[in-house]
Homo-oligomer: A and B are copies of this chain.
């Protein structure tokens, strides 16, 4: 909804209409419009995580660290309508957080979960001899995640094809996992 109308157009009234409950009731649960927007973001992120977990499950019984890193990074690209929609909404929230620092406080202190997930997969790859032992897993993971994030805008704007973005990520994965 936020992606269709622009986050700034989302009001308690519209959220209530879409949810089919009285605005007064929503306001009771969320308190303020800011809390409502943050609550909506949590629901969006939980949905995205559930779908990501389903795609991970499709990788089979015991996916390799390499296959998992690839899948995690591909979650950051608009490879289908759901991811595209989620990423556009995140971009709208980003602007809101920039212009309203108080609202950004909950996300500012959030742990870098994605980065730590990729780092732990790289460490697993190191234990299996598939990743160089002297690679700094955390720093490499942070740059891989940043690179995938940075490929999002040009794909969303049609400057890169999705195929070009996944090729660029695959090259980096080939480098990081030379032993596979």
Using a CB–CB cutoff of 8 Å, the interface residues on chain A facing chain B are 6, 8, 88, 91-92, 94-95, 97-99, 104, 107-108, 110, 112, 136, 139-140, 142-143, 145-154, 156-159, 167-169, 171-172
Q: Are A156 and B98 in contact (CB under 8 A)?
A: yes
Closest CB in chain B relative to A27 CB, distance in Å: 25
Majority-rule SS of A interface residues: helix
Copies in the complex: 2
- Across the interface, A149 reaches (CB within 8 A) one of B98, B150, B168, namely B150
Interchain residue pairs with CB less than 8 A apart (17): A92-B95, A94-B153, A104-B157, A108-B157, A108-B159, A110-B159, A136-B171, A143-B168, A146-B147, A146-B148, A146-B151, A146-B154, A147-B147, A148-B150, A149-B149, A149-B150, A150-B150
